[in-house]
Structure 1
Amino acid sequence: MSSTPTQEAGPTSDRERLDQARRVIRGGLPEEGNGNVVYAAYVAVIAALTYGVPASRAFFMFVDPAWISRHLTGAQGVLVVGVLVAAVWLVGHRLGSLRGPVVPDLPYLDHVAVSSLDRAVVLRRWWRLSLLGCLIGGLLTGAVVGTGMVVADVSSPWALLPSSLGGLVAGLGFAGSWLWGQVRSWPTGPRGASTVLRGARSLRALHHVGLRTQSSRAVTMGGAVLAGDLRAARLDVASPSTRLRRTRLRARGPVAVLAGRDLLGLRRAPGALVVGLVLVAAGCWSLAHATIPGVPNIVAFVGTVSCYLGYGAWSEGLRLQGDNAGTPPLIGLAYGREALAHLVTPSVLYSAVALLTGGAVVLTTPGAGFAAVVWPLAMVALVAGGHLMAAFRGLPPVSLFSPGSAVVSVAFWYSRPLLLTIIGGVAATALLTRSTASNALMVLVLASYAAVAFGRRRVRLLDEGHRT
């Protein structure tokens, strides 16, 4: 008697079909993603224990624990932490529009994601990996901060539990805002706040074209970072401006035209204008308070970094000139003079914000004197010189693939402008409250002169390099 061959039942659900497709893609090889995730989490924990906890302890010891307990406890501390967490979530939302948490490879998108399978099932693995990374990162950050506070005698050991839970919640919120930013990067489909609370709905709202764009952008940015060419990465993530396309510049002198052109660029990008305004105002507020005796140096550090970042948000014209080095000048200015002309608009905006912020601090803060108005304004030359260095630094002299400490060399090459600004600004501010005003002014003038001189040298070298 002949037996009838039994037919094996095929997959019936989307999950089973996806598992079958993934087995075909792997060619029968075992799944390696779970092992990589466990190893990455292991490395993160070791790094947090080895480097994070000592750095956190040193930070709180440097800040002055008594000053923290006096000024950043209670309602003020909750407000500061809330502002920082909100800022991190906003950064995550902005990051999602450039490179979201769900970015599969292009072959996977073109062969699996375009099928009739449920988009939430197809993309769930990438979302879970990103969510797990955010949760682990938030938990470790909260634990490291809490441990540093306990070791530095800033708080009791009971603060370790709420800081760890707070870090976990902050990581969860960052993951949600990150995914929401990716959903809202596509102009159609469900984009409301309800998609944040439901991961499956958010995954179904991701458009295939948007996913392909972010996947190809991730490849380009990864290559640019490995090559040490941040200019290529910055140009790849820049979004085209569609505002004020009919606005024209008036006929003026060369310097006035360039300044007006930079101002028009900020009007066409109101987000950069607002971000720069908030950062510069916060930085000048910190620098004004740093002139009061007894305030720790960390306030000057935060103010200097904030002013540097805010000034950079207004310096797109300067960076574009550095990116387009070697092209003929449009209005006949020499290359060096054109670079200095691009500093006019951000410097004027910075000066106006510094004067207004310093005046507000004098009126509202006891103990603040005339230095609270003058000192943030005096930082303009140092910050402008730092950005002159940054815009025309060019490519690093070594590659990331060079033998030796290539990564450290490339990182130092790109961080030199910020390091010089921080060292000069914090050192001068520390001398202002611990020594005489003449010593502080001398250090600030020397640091500003060094930044501007080195920046002009980079402008000249970049110009001469393209000529030859």
Structure 2
Amino acid sequence: MSKRKQPARAKPAPEPTTAQPRTPQPMPAEPAPAERPQSTAPDRTAYDPTTPDPTTPDPMTDEPTTPAEVDYDDHDLLGQADWVIGGEAARKARQQGLYAGYVLFLGALVYGLPIVQAVFRTSDASSLGDQLSSPEAIALLVASVAALLGAVVFAGRFRGPVVPPMPWIDLVLPVPLDRALALRRWWRYAAVGGLFIGALSGLTIGAGLAFAHLAGPVTIIVTTAVGTALGVLATRLWLWSQVRSWPGPDRGLSLLWRVPDALRELHAESLRAHSANTSTMAGSALTGNLRTARLALTRPIRHGRSARLRPGRPFGVLVRRDVLGLRRTPGAFLSGLGLTALGGAIVTWAFTQPAAPSIAATIGLLPLYLGFGAWAEGLRLQADNVGTPSLLGTSELTEAGAHVTVPTALTVLVLGGWVGVAAAIGSLPASAPLSLWLVLVLVVAGNVLAAFRGSPTFMLRPQMVIAWYAVPAFTVVLLGSLVAVLTKAGSYTWLSVVSWLVYAVLAWAVSKVRRLTYLHRA
């Protein structure tokens, strides 16, 4: 309840009474009243308010009225504002959230649980159980969870969990209401969503382990509880990162368990920036223009500002330019390192360990592909400025080759490190290096395809845009999974056929570079 001051009502005039006849009494002569100075105030018009000023005296009682405190219900005021701004769509938001949870649950039941079972059933149960309970596997699991939480903190700087619409920020937040109450609805959406996704993920993994006879039914309860706790922690870290995106007095880790205080620390300008980022990313995704989203989310350069690009031959200058770019954006370097290390570990384990399931390579290819892409910012910048004459006099293929040199070298170092670890702790099959080479070529070709995909030439519908985005990643995952299955089966004849398909994808990527360049120059 909020207390606000409201003018008190004027006292009613006394009721008229009937005059009684009295005997006239002689009255002393009264002095003549002094003349009042003529008022300079303008006459009252029809546009003047009818409510009297609470500080002016009442003409009936000649007593000034005092403001009175009246209680207002903040929930009622917020409900009225929600109806005026959101209308009927705001009331249906809860139903839409329940429907999205229902669809997600069906997806986990129909697709998630069979995939998890396939991961654990395609290999020997005892050997796989020993490997999953090894210290290396536990350390990899902890590193994966830490990388996931770090990604949540990184995303909270640009788009947090509490992002109300712009009219709500402009019209409701300036009102003297409790900000935690005004923003509570959006936080509840994010909190319930994080809890539900974490619990559903833990339930799916635990059920897969139980149905594959690698653990007992108690594992389902344990994994569900752990997933729920991780979902809650990730959501609160997301909110904490959003609070830290704007300077404020209270930005400590104690906000993780003081959610109302964290909501009160959210500044209106920060909420406007996050709302604008949301609109920019949604518009860029629907129109197929990722360059706009990258430019909107770019942070000012604060590292390596004193470093300068040394002159040299064109190819070497382009390579050093990419190295300098990674030095100035340590976030991109660290995110690429984490994703590549995670994906490289899973892929190397799938190719070097006989007990590893073949589908493990499918799971590891996606983070490996994304990690390479985090290091290939120079390649995307070339695609953004395609068609312009090169200042260094290089051709488009030479420039693209220079831009993939640094990420390829870093990926080779990561994969080579994991191969060395696999050789140190066990046997190394002769087919593993060849298969990893094909995976590396496939990852390079996929990132070149993604950078030079151009703009969509079809009618922009969400499903078609998503499919258009997923073509490079889907190609990498599909062919990489075939390489893993054929390597595990020892079918080297078919593996040679798939290797030609891999090199055909690389040739397709090279043709995309040439085609997009010539189209822009024409």
Q: What TM-score, normalized to structure 2?
A: 0.79
**1:326-356 deviations in whole A, cap 9, x for unaligned?**
3332212122221122111212222233333
Paired AA for residue 375 in structure 2: W
Paired AA for residue 384 in structure 1: V
C-alpha deviation, 1:43, in angstroms = 3.4
Mark the CA change 1:211 to 1:359 in structure 2 (over 3 Å): closer, same or farther: same
Is 1:344 matched up with 2:344?
Answer: no
- 2:520 alignment partner in structure 1: 466
* CA–CA separation in structure 1 for the residues paired with 2:341 and 2:84: 56
Q: How large is the RMSD of aligned CA atoms in angstroms?
A: 3.0
CA contact (8 A) 1:179 1:202 kept: yes
* CA–CA separation in structure 1 for the residues paired with 2:72 and 2:483: 70
* CA–CA separation in structure 2 for the residues paired with 1:374 and 1:291: 11
- 2:189 alignment partner in structure 1: 129
Mark the CA change 1:298 to 1:27 in structure 2 (over 3 Å): closer, same or farther: closer
Aligned counterpart for 1:330 among listed residues 391, 399, 420 = 391
Aligned counterpart for 1:360 among listed residues 421, 430, 436 = 421
CA contact (8 A) 2:82 2:90 kept: no
Mark the CA change 1:333 to 1:429 in structure 2 (over 3 Å): closer, same or farther: same
C-alpha deviation, 1:373, in angstroms = 6.0
Aligned counterpart for 1:411 among listed residues 446, 455, 466 = 466
Is 1:423 matched up with 2:483?
Answer: no
Is 1:398 matched up with 2:458?
Answer: yes
C-alpha deviation, 1:41, in angstroms = 3.2
Mark the CA change 1:419 to 1:65 in structure 2 (over 3 Å): closer, same or farther: farther
Query: How does 1:13-32 map onto structure 2 within 5 Å?
Result: 14-25=74-85, 31-32=91-92
- 1:230 alignment partner in structure 2: 290
Question: What is the SS of the residue equivalent to 2:163?
Answer: coil
Aligned counterpart for 2:339 among listed residues 279, 292, 295 = 279
* CA–CA separation in structure 1 for the residues paired with 2:227 and 2:413: 37
Is 1:320 matched up with 2:381?
Answer: yes
Query: How does 1:243-282 map onto structure 2 within 5 Å?
Result: 243-282=303-342
Question: What is the SS of the residue equivalent to 1:98?
Answer: coil
Mark the CA change 1:171 to 1:29 in structure 2 (over 3 Å): closer, same or farther: closer
* CA–CA separation in structure 2 for the residues paired with 1:276 and 1:370: 28
* CA–CA separation in structure 2 for the residues paired with 1:433 and 1:225: 38
Query: How does 1:132-151 map onto structure 2 within 5 Å?
Result: 132-151=192-211
C-alpha deviation, 1:59, in angstroms = 4.0
CA contact (8 A) 1:292 1:433 kept: no
* CA–CA separation in structure 2 for the residues paired with 1:444 and 1:325: 31
Mark the CA change 1:352 to 1:88 in structure 2 (over 3 Å): closer, same or farther: closer
* CA–CA separation in structure 2 for the residues paired with 1:34 and 1:306: 33
Mark the CA change 1:34 to 1:287 in structure 2 (over 3 Å): closer, same or farther: closer
CA contact (8 A) 1:227 1:399 kept: no
CA contact (8 A) 2:348 2:415 kept: no
* CA–CA separation in structure 1 for the residues paired with 2:444 and 2:84: 56
Paired AA for residue 398 in structure 1: F
* CA–CA separation in structure 2 for the residues paired with 1:358 and 1:74: 18
* CA–CA separation in structure 1 for the residues paired with 2:116 and 2:367: 20
Mark the CA change 1:380 to 1:56 in structure 2 (over 3 Å): closer, same or farther: closer
* CA–CA separation in structure 1 for the residues paired with 2:107 and 2:361: 28
C-alpha deviation, 1:444, in angstroms = 6.4
* CA–CA separation in structure 2 for the residues paired with 1:9 and 1:53: 60
Aligned counterpart for 2:490 among listed residues 427, 435, 455 = 435
* CA–CA separation in structure 1 for the residues paired with 2:106 and 2:334: 39
- 2:27 alignment partner in structure 1: none
C-alpha deviation, 1:222, in angstroms = 1.5
* CA–CA separation in structure 2 for the residues paired with 1:13 and 1:113: 16
Structure 1: state its 5+ residue gaps. Answer: none
Mark the CA change 1:11 to 1:51 in structure 2 (over 3 Å): closer, same or farther: farther
Structure 2: state its 5+ residue gaps. Answer: 1-10, 13-67
Identity %: 36
C-alpha deviation, 1:221, in angstroms = 1.5
Paired AA for residue 258 in structure 1: L
C-alpha deviation, 1:299, in angstroms = 3.4
Query: How does 1:52-201 map onto structure 2 within 5 Å?
Result: 52-62=112-122, 65-73=125-133, 79-201=139-261
Aligned counterpart for 1:389 among listed residues 415, 427, 449 = 449
C-alpha deviation, 1:133, in angstroms = 1.2
C-alpha deviation, 1:435, in angstroms = 1.9
Q: What TM-score, normalized to structure 1?
A: 0.87
Question: Larger Rg: 1 or 2?
Answer: 2
- 1:311 alignment partner in structure 2: 372
C-alpha deviation, 1:223, in angstroms = 1.8
**1:146-195 deviations in whole A, cap 9, x for unaligned?**
23333333333332222222221121111111111211212433221111
Mark the CA change 1:26 to 1:457 in structure 2 (over 3 Å): closer, same or farther: closer
More helix by share: 1
Mark the CA change 1:134 to 1:28 in structure 2 (over 3 Å): closer, same or farther: closer
Mark the CA change 1:24 to 1:382 in structure 2 (over 3 Å): closer, same or farther: closer
Question: What is the SS of the residue equivalent to 1:331?
Answer: coil
* CA–CA separation in structure 2 for the residues paired with 1:360 and 1:71: 14
* CA–CA separation in structure 1 for the residues paired with 2:136 and 2:404: 37
